[in-house]
Structure 1
Amino acid sequence: MTGWDEEVDLLVVGTGAAAMSAAIAAADAGLDVLVVEGSDKWGGSTAMSGGGCWLQTHPGMKEIGVEDSEEKVLTYLDACVGTPEEVGPASSLARREAFVRTAPLVHTWLEDHGLVWKTAKAYPDYYPDLPGGIAGGRTVEPAPFDVKKLGDWYGHARETLPPGLPLFAGDTYLLARSWSTFSGMVGGARLVFRALGGAVTARKLSGLGMSLAARLMYIAKMQQGTEVRLSTPLVDLVMEGGACVGAVVAGPEGERRIRARRGVHLGAGGFDHNAAWREEYQGLSDEQSSGNPANTGGAIEIGMRHGADVALMDDAWWGPSVAPTSKGGPTFIVSERSMPYSIVVDQEGSRYVNESTSYVDFGHAMIERGLERTNHSWMVLDVRHRRRYLNNAFLMGSKTFFEEGVAVKADTLEELAEKMGVDKATFKATIQRFNAFARDGVDHDFGRGHDAYDTYYGDPTHGPNPNLGEIAHGPFVALKIVLGDLGTKGGLLTDEHARVLSTEGTVIDGLYAAGNTSAAVCGRTYPGAGSTLGPALVFGYLAGTHAANRGDDAPAPAPAPDAAAVA
């Protein structure tokens, strides 16, 4: 076909982990790569995330004395996600095996490119007591990155934290109890010294997801010389004989037709902020996502337009969030709901969930209970919670919370129930029952504090259960909790090579997808911290290397790391 404005080997859409992993892998193989980003900011939801990556069996596990194996991980996935037959093709056995087999290779591959990993030794899988689960080591996170290495390009990043704050994800829960526990004080001091170390060496260190996004961008743009264009949204795919041969993109100079000799990779995020789709597929009249505001599902819709199949469109990476105010939000909450002296109730005043459970399970519990009763809910705090622990939501401005009804305060529980609008008798009975559990140390209704994941975010100095504390001392505060998410789970259905599949079950040659543009390999569950970014990196890598092998004249693919070195 004639009429191309330009040609490349691989066209990559998006600038998050999935997209940049594909771009780097393809460039390693000698391909000419072009990356286009629809918004004016690069980094995607990756830059806004905690930065953790679930890369089981990675070589850092042996360094900390933790044993793992592919068989153990697959057993765990069967136990917590469900079998492939139960979940469906998004989580097929072939995709699971590809993910598990490739995860340690991607870990080493990115290390070879200069990314320094820290193993989260204490961060457990989200279901550590299930067969194959372990109490820490499968999650890794990137070391803080000096964003000054990106020069002026850093000014176009989708940053959510100020540079110079080199946070690890593990710092956040320690900071939450930095003035109430010794380990919290030590964690806070380490962060301070890390930040000072960056300052005295004239570095601008960034942490969490921005560290990962910045390092990937540095590898692709600065080291490999890959061109990255912002404000260049995907308009359409160009198909010939059922295969994807290129794309149409928009830009400051109008639309351009780009031939992609080895394929097009879609890593443009989910449909977090597409209100019409959220209502159509998930029944939400008001989405409260913490994902990238540029994620509106355009790449998914274009793929569907050309016969691509989709799966898991009704699901998301759910989690409870403090309701938004005129100043911002929603605020995704994790450690805050696990600390003692807190409880969550629905609009009737009844408890319905283990408050310390994984955020995706909390979200599913809200849906199963009925959103008319749980969206919104209330997180009730004893005064000791406010005094002992940092609640990140209040950093948004507690005055605004109270002014706009997102928070209410009262000296007595009866008065608090009235301000919350819940049934006083039901609320009183709920509190009395919960307080008895707190004194006993066992949550007989929902098992709060029963495993390593729950207690990870608890208070180790508090007993008999580090997650349970009586709601007994005022003044009391209640925060309005809504169903939020970190992004959507549903997207284009792909195979073990990240190739997009048609509604007829066949491969759409030349079209790849990974990250939240694709349906999640983890199905409806969240096996461990980084279950979004880990698969995104892995399937992006698989897409880039597979594209390099398309055609007899393709350059040799990037060599995989020596398996013996990571065994």
Structure 2
Amino acid sequence: MSDANTLRPLRASSVTEWDQQADVVVAGYGIAGVCAAIEAARAGADVLILERTGGWGGAAAMAGGFIYLGGGTPLQRALGFEDTPENMETFLLAALGPGVDRAKIADYARGSVEHYNWLVANGVPFREAFWGEPGWEPPHDEGLMYSGGENAAPFNAIAKPAPRGHVPQMADKKIGRKSGGYMLMKPLAETAESLGVRVEYDLRLSRLIVDDDDRVVGVVAKRYGKEVAIRADRGLVLATGSFAYHQQMIEGYAPRLIGRPAAAIEEHDGIGIRVAQALGAELAHMDATEVAFFGDPQLMARGILVNGRGQRFIAE
């Protein structure tokens, strides 16, 4: 990226005064950031979250709230669906295709039930109800639906179909405006607060700070144009989201999305990726994208979708 010089890590020896300090600093107060903050605080660390907006939530709070979980979660079992970590792993390996990180998928599938239990223990509610109609997300407060094409060809012949879209229970839901993502974030933010996690809002991450051994020891952030130096004594977590609103990154890594509206929030400018890259981090799968067809099947006539040549092009 053209701003590589301004992103280059700053040497700690050049910092004359630290404005803030914590054991663990988390950049970004969305779903990834709040989960990291909770676990760090429970491990005994003094945790500080830096959030560029004026409140918690990020894109997660505005989303449908789906958490992809399986392997036999209590919600799956309560609703009569059989699933195993092995079955979940088989599906994900097939769905994600070439270049998939097999070790990561194995860990994700085998730890999925524990992930569900962790969310419930931290206050995230799930209603024991299955939404079986096709659609973008449950229009009501049902807690489970198919969300990954598990019951569509060819995957339904590769692994036993099981719904894994777990959706937090949300009262007065309004799809696209007030969905389950809010009830995913709210109880977790409250848990973080109860654990003593500190938060600084309106702070925009700009570059990393490293010591003479190139170990990350802090960050430089900006508040209303003024630089702020924050020291991280035990670790830094980058949880700042995607690059959906960084035009140059879209053009360089995912040109198929040029000219298409992003479903993320404008704060998703790839800063976490860019500062890590300036440190020497490698990138992978930067062209992996998701494009949604906003035609809710339940509002359309049942049938198949064809292109201009009359060819079926999608597994409805």
Counterpart position of 1:69: 84
- CA, structure 1 residues 55+226, in 2 after alignment: closer, same or farther (shift >3 Å)? same
The structural deviation recorded for 1:118 is: 3.0
Counterpart position of 1:134: 161
Is 1:243 the counterpart of 2:215? The answer is yes
Distance, in Å, in 2 between the alignment partners of 1:13 and 1:281 is 23
Distance, in Å, in 2 between the alignment partners of 1:232 and 1:17 is 18
Counterpart position of 2:202: 231
Could you tell me the TM-score, scaled by structure 2's length? Answer: 0.79
Distance, in Å, in 1 between the alignment partners of 2:295 and 2:65 is 15
Asked if structure 2 preserves the Cα contact closer than 8 Å seen for 1:337 and 1:343, the reply is no
Distance, in Å, in 1 between the alignment partners of 2:173 and 2:70 is 24
The structural deviation recorded for 1:336 is: 4.4
- Paired residue type of 1:26: A
Is 1:108 the counterpart of 2:117? The answer is yes
Asked if structure 1 preserves the Cα contact closer than 8 Å seen for 2:220 and 2:228, the reply is yes
- Paired residue type of 1:127: E
Is 1:143 the counterpart of 2:169? The answer is yes
Is 1:216 the counterpart of 2:194? The answer is no
Counterpart position of 2:33: 19
Asked if structure 2 preserves the Cα contact closer than 8 Å seen for 1:21 and 1:216, the reply is yes
- CA, structure 1 residues 239+258, in 2 after alignment: closer, same or farther (shift >3 Å)? same
User: What secondary structure is seen at the aligned counterpart in 1 of 2:208?
Assistant: strand
Could you tell me the TM-score, scaled by structure 1's length? Answer: 0.46
Counterpart position of 2:137: none
- Paired residue type of 2:210: M
Distance, in Å, in 2 between the alignment partners of 1:75 and 1:342 is 29
User: What secondary structure is seen at the aligned counterpart in 1 of 2:264?
Assistant: coil
Distance, in Å, in 2 between the alignment partners of 1:11 and 1:351 is 54
Counterpart position of 1:396: none
The structural deviation recorded for 1:281 is: 1.6
The structural deviation recorded for 1:267 is: 1.1
Asked if structure 1 preserves the Cα contact closer than 8 Å seen for 2:203 and 2:221, the reply is yes
Q: Deviations over 1:277-324 (max 9, x none)?
A: 11122224423112112111111111111101111112212223xxxx
Counterpart position of 1:278: 250
Distance, in Å, in 1 between the alignment partners of 2:240 and 2:39 is 17
Structure 1: runs of 5+ lacking an equivalent: 145-163, 173-205, 321-332, 358-453, 455-567
The structural deviation recorded for 1:337 is: 7.9
User: What secondary structure is seen at the aligned counterpart in 2 of 1:246?
Assistant: strand
- CA, structure 1 residues 116+337, in 2 after alignment: closer, same or farther (shift >3 Å)? closer
User: What secondary structure is seen at the aligned counterpart in 1 of 2:291?
Assistant: strand
Distance, in Å, in 2 between the alignment partners of 1:340 and 1:218 is 43
The structural deviation recorded for 1:53 is: 0.8
Q: Deviations over 1:392-450 (max 9, x none)?
A: xxxxxxxxxxxxxxxxxxxxxxxxxxxxxxxxxxxxxxxxxxxxxxxxxxxxxxxxxxx
Aligned ranges 1:209-358 → 2 under 5 Å: 209-221=181-193, 223-240=194-211, 241-252=213-224, 254-283=226-255, 284-320=257-293, 333-336=294-297, 339-340=300-301, 349-354=308-313, 357=315
- Paired residue type of 1:236: R
Asked if structure 2 preserves the Cα contact closer than 8 Å seen for 1:10 and 1:33, the reply is yes
Aligned ranges 1:395-434 → 2 under 5 Å: none
The structural deviation recorded for 1:254 is: 2.3
Q: Deviations over 1:500-559 (max 9, x none)?
A: xxxxxxxxxxxxxxxxxxxxxxxxxxxxxxxxxxxxxxxxxxxxxxxxxxxxxxxxxxxx
Asked if structure 1 preserves the Cα contact closer than 8 Å seen for 2:245 and 2:266, the reply is yes
Distance, in Å, in 2 between the alignment partners of 1:342 and 1:231 is 49
Counterpart position of 1:56: 70
User: What secondary structure is seen at the aligned counterpart in 2 of 1:305?
Assistant: helix
Q: Deviations over 1:203-234 (max 9, x none)?
A: xxx6421221222222212x223222221011
The structural deviation recorded for 1:98 is: 1.8
Counterpart position of 1:166: 173
Counterpart position of 2:6: none
Distance, in Å, in 2 between the alignment partners of 1:267 and 1:351 is 43
Q: CA RMSD of the aligned region, Å?
A: 2.6
Match of 1:36 among 13, 30, 50: 50
Distance, in Å, in 2 between the alignment partners of 1:231 and 1:339 is 43
Asked if structure 2 preserves the Cα contact closer than 8 Å seen for 1:35 and 1:227, the reply is yes
The structural deviation recorded for 1:51 is: 0.7
Distance, in Å, in 2 between the alignment partners of 1:30 and 1:248 is 25
Structure 2: runs of 5+ lacking an equivalent: 1-11, 133-144
Asked if structure 1 preserves the Cα contact closer than 8 Å seen for 2:64 and 2:180, the reply is yes
Higher helix share goes to which structure?
Answer: 1
Asked if structure 2 preserves the Cα contact closer than 8 Å seen for 1:8 and 1:34, the reply is yes
* Identity across matched positions, percent: 28
Distance, in Å, in 1 between the alignment partners of 2:126 and 2:191 is 15
The structural deviation recorded for 1:15 is: 1.6
The structural deviation recorded for 1:343 is: 7.3
- CA, structure 1 residues 351+116, in 2 after alignment: closer, same or farther (shift >3 Å)? same
Asked if structure 2 preserves the Cα contact closer than 8 Å seen for 1:36 and 1:232, the reply is yes
User: What secondary structure is seen at the aligned counterpart in 1 of 2:223?
Assistant: coil
Asked if structure 2 preserves the Cα contact closer than 8 Å seen for 1:142 and 1:211, the reply is yes
The structural deviation recorded for 1:8 is: 0.6
The structural deviation recorded for 1:248 is: 1.1
Asked if structure 2 preserves the Cα contact closer than 8 Å seen for 1:117 and 1:141, the reply is yes
User: What secondary structure is seen at the aligned counterpart in 1 of 2:111?
Assistant: helix
Aligned ranges 1:377-388 → 2 under 5 Å: none
Distance, in Å, in 1 between the alignment partners of 2:295 and 2:34 is 28
Distance, in Å, in 1 between the alignment partners of 2:262 and 2:310 is 24
The structural deviation recorded for 1:258 is: 1.4
Distance, in Å, in 2 between the alignment partners of 1:41 and 1:343 is 43
